[in-house]
Amino acid sequence: MRVLVFGRRGQLGRALERAIEADVVGPGREEVDLRDADALRHAVHDAGPDVVVNAAAYTAVDRAESEEEEAARVNAVAPGVIAEAAQARGAACVHFSTDYVFDGAKRTPYVETDEARPLCAYGRTKLAGEAAALASGALVLRTGWLWSLEKPGFVTRVLADVRAGRTVRAVVDQVGGPTSCDALAAAVATIVARGAGAIRERWGLLHASSGGAVSRFEWAKALAAGAVPVEEARTEEFGSAARRPAYSVLDCAKLADVFGVRLPAWDAR
């Protein structure tokens, strides 16, 4: 089996390459411009894959507020082109979306049929990308609070403060389900192993996130493990350009029903 991964050199792409037991290929950002539809089509055609996985995205959430058109070219347009090209070759397509498509007004985990009402440009562009990929029969996996040690982010910042002996400040009014790239990649590898036919038969929208719910403050406390003080903060104190959902926990029961896959709890050891 040959699996073509867009975004292969990103944090999720690297995890996918480690987890998927197949011939994994994928162009780098310098080889294929995600904003170039013809280049994307040629990449799919030339690779001749059985499965195409799109792990590439414009993820600068705050910058997207002033670059929404640019973000849309990568997050909204490219997924549709990739899924259409995969469908034309008879390949299955897996695309990733985000919990930021929701407004955070709920206080119980979001299911796939809940109305998506993104608060920011990043969420809007990712929601448009979902629709574009689904239109060509892709399997779309929404995830949330994705992290790894290979890319600067919340986890690496907290751990850097811990190493430096600095007090950590984290917001208490954002609640989600932290999902490691390795855990998500392992789940996707299990799905891919079922074969392209199984993915095409079960295409649609599914939630794929680690179990449990935690605030960023509680998450930071778990990461710090008592080594340094952790202080509560409120979202507005950080002056972020983009609005983020206050609650974005995902209900992943359907993923287990459809593919028999369940990600571990966010704090699993």
Catalytic residue chosen out of the listed positions 58, 100, 110, 122? 122
- Token digits of residue 80: 């549709």
Return mean pLDDT, the chain. Answer: 96
Task: Spell out the alpha helix ranges (H) of the chain.
Answer: 11-19, 37-47, 68-72, 78-88, 121-134, 154-164, 181-193, 196-201, 216-224, 253-259
- Which tokens in the block code for residue 170? 């984290």
Q: What is the pLDDT of residues 82-118, one digit of tens each?
A: 999 999 999 999 999 999 999 999 999 999 999 999 9
Is 164 contained in some domain? Answer: no
Residue 247 pLDDT greater than 80, yes or no: yes
Residue 110 lies inside a defined structural domain of this protein: yes
Between β-strands 175-176 and 214-215, what pairing exists: parallel, antiparallel or unpaired?
antiparallel
User: What's the pTM value of the predicted model, to 2 decimals?
Assistant: 0.95
Domain assignment present for residue 11? The answer is: yes
Q: Is 137 left (phi over 0), alpha (psi -120 to 50) or beta?
A: left
Q: Is residue 142 part of a domain?
A: yes
Print the domain residue range for 124.
Answer: 2-148+179-212+249-259
Give me the phi and psi of 11, to 5 degrees please. Answer: -65, -40
Average pLDDT of span 125-140 = 98
Q: How many CB atoms lie within 10 A of CB 130?
A: 24
Residue 149: per-residue pLDDT: 94
> Which token pair is 49?
């894959």
Inside any domain, residue 69: yes
Q: How many domains does the chain have?
A: 1
Q: pLDDT-derived band of residue 268, with 50, 70 and 90 as boundaries?
A: confident
- Whether residue 269 is predicted with pLDDT greater than 80 in this model: the reply is no
Give the tokens for residue 269: 């050891």
**Per-residue tokens: 191:** 């799905």
Residue 171 — pLDDT band, cuts 50, 70, 90?
very high
Whether the predicted pLDDT of 29 surpasses 80: no
Asked whether residue 237 is domain-assigned, the answer is no
The DSSP letter of residue 264 is: P
Residues 6+ apart with CB under 8 A from 95: 53, 54, 79, 82, 83, 129, 130, 133, 138, 139, 140, 141
What does the pLDDT look like over 217-227, one tens digit per residue? Answer: 999 999 999 99
The pLDDT value given to residue 27? 84
Q: Is pLDDT at 253 greater than 90 in this prediction?
A: yes
Question: Do 64 and 127 form a contact (C-beta atoms < 8 A)?
Answer: no
> Cα 39–88–197 angle (5° rounding)?
120
Q: What is the largest CA-CA distance in the chain?
A: 55
Do residues 136 and 202 lie in contact, with contact meaning Cβ atoms separated by under 8 Å? no
State the pLDDT confidence band at 77, using cuts at 50, 70 and 90. very high
CATH number at residue 66: 3.40.50.720
- 222: in domain: no
pLDDT greater at residue 150 or residue 214:
214
The pLDDT score that the predictor gives to residue 66 is 97
122 is catalytic: yes
**Distance in angstroms (rounded) separating the CA atoms of residues 76 and 101:** 13
Contact 205, 113 (CB under 8 A): no
pLDDT at position 188 over 70: yes
pLDDT exceeds cutoff 70 at 157? yes
